[in-house]
């Protein structure tokens, strides 16, 4: 999996949970790898935003796998470059 499309399915304090389209797999996109700084989860829990960018539930993103821990079953993602 080099670059894939996925949808934001959950907003966490420290990032986004992304479901990869067509695979059923999901991964975590940490806020520290998002462009800019100072991301905060909205009070209603449907977005993660800073002063310039906003990521919302259901939003489609292009991502790539940054790290994979097969033992723990965890996939860490990064935004794909356009």
The 10s digit of each residue's pLDDT in 17-38 is: 999 998 889 999 999 999 999 9
The 10s digit of each residue's pLDDT in 59-79 is: 999 999 999 988 888 999 999
Angle at 15 (CA atoms; ends 7, 63), nearest 5 degrees: 45
CA distance 38 to 81: 21
β-bridge pairing 60-69 and 4-12: antiparallel
């Amino acid at each position: 999996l080099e670059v894939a499309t996925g949808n934001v399915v959950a907003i966490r304090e420290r990032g986004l949970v992304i479901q990869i389209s067509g695979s059923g797999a999901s991964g975590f996109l940490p806020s520290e790898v998002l462009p800019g700084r100072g991301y905060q989860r909205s009070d209603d829990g449907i977005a993660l935003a800073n002063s310039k960018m906003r990521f919302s539930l259901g939003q489609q993103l292009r991502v790539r796998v940054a790290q994979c821990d097969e033992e723990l079953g965890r996939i860490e993602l990064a935004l794909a470059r356009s």
